[in-house]
Amino acid sequence: MAAKPSDFDRGLALHQQGRLAEAEQLYRRVLRTAPTHFDALHLQGVICGQTDRFDEALVLLKRALAQRPDSAPALTNLGNTLGSLGRHQEAVQAFERALAVRPGDAKALRNRGTSLRALERPEEALASFDAALALQPAYPEALIGRAECLLTLHRRSQAIAAFQQALALGKDVDQIQYALAALGVGSAPSTAPAGYVEALFDMYAHNFDDHLVKTLGYRTPELLCAELQRAHPPTGGEVIDLGCGTGLCGPLLQPLAGRLTGVDLSGLMLAKARELGLYDELVQGDIVAALEGQPRRFDIAVAADVFVYIGDLEAVFAATAAALRPGGLFAFSVEACEDGSDFALGAKRRYAHSLTYLQRLAAAHGFTTESSTRCAIRKESDEAVDGLLVVMKRA
């Protein structure tokens, strides 16, 4: 008669099927009776990482490694978790410990490259991606990482070739085509792929505010909310912060709001916004989807530095117009488009929009323009990026 599967074995089987909650329940049961069970600690830590509970994952993985300090898989997962927490220097150290045990681990090399790139060490990151590719040539994530490093190092033609190699492997096609379009290869899509935007902001969630404010001189929330104040906004009504990110606009909008809602694609950004305690509701998802089905609910809609990831704004204007009450205000920023087109995708993978395009959309969707102010909205390579701060009123 076959032996009855243990709780751990059943948990592992469920984990492999993607049934994470059920697997975690069984791992927890194992740990109640065997608190030093290495595999249960390790794999429960992996599940916490898979469900964006990185602080819990870190505790569990450290407990697992106390049992087996030289476990290459656990060290690699520790590095992944530290990277997700924005602790990239520690992540690199964890990956290097894993590679000392198992030098031929392409995944650890690729993830080490990702953390080195986040630390702005592109030459070392490139070497790590190249080492991963020497072991596994058809590794699309390593090819994408390699391409990004080459761009940082101003080796544009080589970056394009690496993106094209990755594209041929059929993974993350939309995101690679978007990157290539920004480099002038192929036609630009009407909006950035949602997966690209979500991954980008998940990666930077933990040091996003410092990077924006200190490195890029980012002042758009303050400038845009000052522009909004000049339009004499109502107070005590419903306010929606579209693409709220970590909540940089939250302290500026909360005094105007009886109820403040935030929307963003990035779950990790929303987790940081939630810590502020300023938002009555936080919604993960697309801003158009969040506005649809809520006719005349909001008094103010704000989108600070959001439309740089959306080229065609037709759907946004339509949904915002429907969701605003008559007389409601719509305040947003854009980067300024100078080439005579309605909108254009730049080399930094950000869209710029022309004022004539915005005014045409306003007329089509029942908005009047209260103000449009040109100013520097951030820095790029120590040079000011021109933008527009626009406030419109729903007729």
Give the confidence band of 212 by pLDDT, cuts at 50, 70, 90. low
pLDDT beyond 70 at 209: no
Q: What is the pLDDT of residue 71?
A: 98
- Range in 185-199, 309-323, 359-373 the model is least confident about: 185-199
Band of pLDDT at residue 68, cut at 50, 70 and 90: very high
- 117 pLDDT more than 90: yes
Q: Is the pLDDT of residue 296 over 50?
A: yes
Task: Give the Cα-Cα-Cα angle 30, 35, 41 (nearest 5 degrees).
Answer: 75
Residues 35-41 have a mean pLDDT of 97
| pLDDT for residue 204 | 72
Residue 324 has pLDDT above 50, yes or no: yes
Task: Let me know: does 312 contact 343? Beta carbons within 8 Å.
Answer: yes
Long-range residue pairs from 361-364, CB within 8 A, at least 24 positions apart, any chain: 361/313, 361/314, 361/317, 362/317, 362/392, 364/317
pLDDT average, residue stretch 336-363: 95
What pLDDT does 182 receive? 97
Tokens found for residue 360: 């045409």
The rounded percent of the chain whose pLDDT value lies above 70 is 95
Residue 213 has pLDDT above 60, yes or no: no
Residue 159 has pLDDT above 60, yes or no: yes
Any idea which of 224-228, 309-313, 336-340 has the lowest mean pLDDT? Answer: 336-340
Q: Considering only 52-61, 145-154, 212-221, which range has the smallest mean pLDDT? A: 212-221
Q: Locate tokens 């980067």: which residue?
A: 335
Q: Which residues of 134-155 are buried (b: 16+ CB within 10 A; e: fewer)?
A: eeeeebbbbbbbbbbbbbbeeb
| 216 has a pLDDT exceeding 60 | no
The stretch 45-57 carries a mean pLDDT of 95
Q: In the prediction, which pLDDT does 142 show?
A: 98
Q: If pLDDT is split at 50, 70 and 90, which confidence band does 59 have?
A: very high
Beta strands (DSSP E) in the chain are 237-242, 257-264, 281-284, 298-303, 324-336, 343-345, 351-353, 367-380, 383-394
pLDDT at 4: 57
Least confident piece of the model among 88-97, 143-152, 170-179, 203-212? 203-212
Give the angle subtended at the CA of 230 by the CAs of 227 and 233, to the nearest 5°: 100
- Of 385 and 275, the structure prediction assigns the larger pLDDT to 275
pLDDT at position 380 over 90:
no
| Res. 2 pLDDT band, cuts 50 70 90 | very low
Lowest mean pLDDT of 201-205, 248-252, 354-358, name the range. Answer: 201-205
Is residue 382's pLDDT more than 80? no
* pTM across the whole model: 0.88
Band (pLDDT 50/70/90 cuts) for residue 3 is: very low
In this predicted structure, what is the pLDDT of residue 18?
A: 96
Alpha-carbon span 361 to 370, nearest angstrom: 14
- State the angle between helix axes of 194-204 and 173-182 in degrees (0 to 180), rounded to the nearest 10: 80
248 in helix, strand or coil?
A: coil
Q: Confidence class of residue 319 from pLDDT cuts 50, 70 and 90? A: very high
Mean pLDDT in the chain?
A: 93
